[in-house]
Structure 1
Amino acid sequence: MNTILTSDRLLVVRNGDAEKWLELLKEALIADGVIPYLGPGLLRLQSTEPPVPHTPEAVSAALNTRTPAPSRIRSNMWSVAQFIEQRRHRRTLETWMAEIFGVPVAPTALHDWLATLPLSLIVDGWYDGTMRAAFAKTGRTDVVEIQGVARANSVGDIWTKSYDLSGRNVEPAPVARTVLYTPHGSVRPAANFLVSDSDYVEVLTEIDIQTPIPEVVKQRRRDRGFLFIGCRFDDQMLRIFARQIIKRSSGPHFAVLDAENLTKNERRFLAASSITVIDLPMDEAAALLAPSGIEAESGAGPNSGGRRACL
């Protein structure tokens, strides 16, 4: 069967049905009818060993080479970061994170293609800044990035900071053609990182009522669904953020994932969130969406208003 509803109420599409759905999603992306939610797994499209960490566990390992954390927390990125913040100071943690993610990562064909589209919103769930780099290559001036920031470095009720593609700090612009939302922060342009347990404590106390999520993100998600690609949901923190970011959006939602390797918690989260699993290898899915060298269709350039596609 190409489409199945599993015993735990998870909808999975495979083979020919998966390819058909990706064709529809491609049309929806071109028409600004769906929001891409990008994860660190996309880094592996360029190399099996990306130049920067592509999992929380890999970040933990990189931090542990700088100062070993206790064995009971050594594989937990958030706890290791908290240990460093407490023992070596917040500034040391930020410096090391900037070093770990300092190597520029070349955008993939998918990043480059997405950067040409008149998308209202893109969510990038990792620290590497690759989607930002893809936008910069286009020369576009109608993109604003909104980054989550640690409140340890902020005065007052500040959850985010906004930048244009030159790196200039700007006011959040509701008139921007595309908003790039990086809820966990990013290495560029200012090395903002939500990474330690304490960074997330205040966010998580407010995120259920949506306070840390920018108003422009809430507005632009309202009549759209999300397409997750390069994402895993095998950690509670990642599930909480994904759940709250798609909250009050209209759907439908999709995720490109290997259905056979999902954890029980991932399956529960996906089913509860009504996220349809497109069961294809990520490289195949990315190639179907944006084959190497593809350009946006006529009328879908950065200054176009686009045409809403229905899923």
Structure 2
Amino acid sequence: MKKSELEAQIKEGRLIPFIGMGVFKETKTEDGEQIPFDSDSMILRLNGGRAMSQRLMYEYSRAAMSLEQRKGRPFIEQMTNHIFTFKPYPLPAVYTWLKTLMPRYVIDLNLDDSLLKLYADRDHFLVTGVSRIMAGYDRFLVYMYMASSQEYKRVDKELLSQMLPILFKPLGCTVPEKSFIISDADFVDWLTEAMGGYALPPFLKTFKNDKSYLFLGIDFDRDTYRMVANEVTLGLSGGYLVNDKEEMSKKEEKFLTSHKIEKLNTSLASFLKSDM
């Protein structure tokens, strides 16, 4: 599949960009600090640069759960927010590329506001995931952004429509209200309600059907990301994966095969630089 063909499908709305941590691999702050781009680097940042036990290093959600139990929920929220807001960093190349396409619907698992910056001069909807809340079963919040005032206003879920571009951040975001799905308890709660149909607004439940997806910088080796991707793309019509992994695990291969996702034989950097 040529890049130009994928771009055409994105512009038409048939192919949905789905962005993960791997897009930050080449992204550093102005003083050279690496933005987390995989589970290990996220754990190191959450734990002040120190590695944790082998059991906790398996996946950052485990490590975050351990830190939350020892230091409290406010600590893990503040650390996560600090990572993505304390020092400025450039937009990763994936977002710069998407700026040329301005998709009408994007799914972004990252916790920062890089995606939102692309649409700062355009009215849009923002849907952010939430977890462990007592008010009802919905595990999302819906906002409308007005470029004229540069403000997000929370709106009723029934207002969501194709009238404006939709930015969906299932795992939360640093803005407009800090909300992160990052620890094991967060994911268990979110996924439990997602399986009951409460992770997506009513409009997205039908809008997403028969769409294809372009997964960028996603690592499907861990159960967590596979389960999240499965829930938010139910009814998909296949897709493509671009990441920097040369070899797939058996779990990854099984997931890609069952969802009819083709892994493109290119690195993320090469894909973005290609003119084809």
TM-score of the superposed pair, with normalisation by structure 1: 0.76
* Deviation of 1:248 (Å): 1.1
Distance 1:66 1:230, change over 3 A: closer
Contact preservation (8 Å) 2:3, 2:274: yes
- Aligned equivalent of 2:122, options 113, 133, 140: 140
Moved more, 156-165 or 192-201: 156-165
Equivalence for 1:263: 249
Does residue 194 (structure 1) correspond to residue 174 (structure 2)? The answer is no
- Aligned equivalent of 2:107, options 106, 111, 123: 123
Tell me the amino acid that sits aligned with residue 239 of structure 1: R
- Aligned equivalent of 2:207, options 220, 223, 246: 220
User: How many residues of Structure 1 are paired with residues of Structure 2 in the alignment?
Assistant: 266
Tell me the amino acid that sits aligned with residue 122 of structure 2: R
% identity of equivalent residues: 24
TM-score of the superposed pair, with normalisation by structure 2: 0.85
- Aligned equivalent of 1:281, options 253, 267, 273: 267
- Aligned equivalent of 1:244, options 198, 223, 231: 231
Write the mapping of 1:298-309 to structure 2, written as runs, cut at 5 A: none
Alignment partner of 1:151: what SS?
coil
The runs of 5 or more residues in structure 2 that have no matched partner are: none
Contact preservation (8 Å) 1:259, 1:279: no
* Deviation of 1:116 (Å): 5.1
Does residue 91 (structure 1) correspond to residue 78 (structure 2)? The answer is no
Structure-1 separation of matches of 2:109 and 2:78: 20
Structure-1 separation of matches of 2:141 and 2:275: 31
* Deviation of 1:175 (Å): 4.4
Contact preservation (8 Å) 1:43, 1:50: no
Moved more, 219-228 or 104-113: 104-113
Equivalence for 1:170: 154
Equivalence for 1:28: 9
Equivalence for 1:304: none
- Aligned equivalent of 2:64, options 63, 68, 81: 81
* Deviation of 1:70 (Å): 5.0
Contact preservation (8 Å) 1:221, 1:246: yes
Residues 228-278 of structure 1: CA distance to partner in whole angstroms, max 9, x if unpaired? 1111111100011112222113x1311114563222211111111110111
Structure-2 separation of matches of 1:280 and 1:181: 26
Structure-2 separation of matches of 1:157 and 1:99: 29
RCO higher in structure (CA 8 A, sep ≥6): 1
- Aligned equivalent of 1:72, options 55, 80, 86: 55
Structure-2 separation of matches of 1:229 and 1:115: 15
Structure-2 separation of matches of 1:70 and 1:202: 25
* Deviation of 1:66 (Å): 7.7
Structure-2 separation of matches of 1:216 and 1:116: 26
Equivalence for 2:171: 184
The runs of 5 or more residues in structure 1 that have no matched partner are: 1-19, 291-311
* Deviation of 1:159 (Å): 0.7
Does residue 158 (structure 1) correspond to residue 134 (structure 2)? The answer is no
Structure number with larger C-alpha Rg: 1
Contact preservation (8 Å) 1:129, 1:188: yes
Alpha carbon RMSD of aligned pairs, Å? 2.6
Tell me the amino acid that sits aligned with residue 274 of structure 1: K
Alignment partner of 1:190: what SS?
coil
Moved more, 156-165 or 75-84: 156-165
Structure-2 separation of matches of 1:262 and 1:68: 25
Structure-1 separation of matches of 2:100 and 2:33: 24
Equivalence for 1:303: none
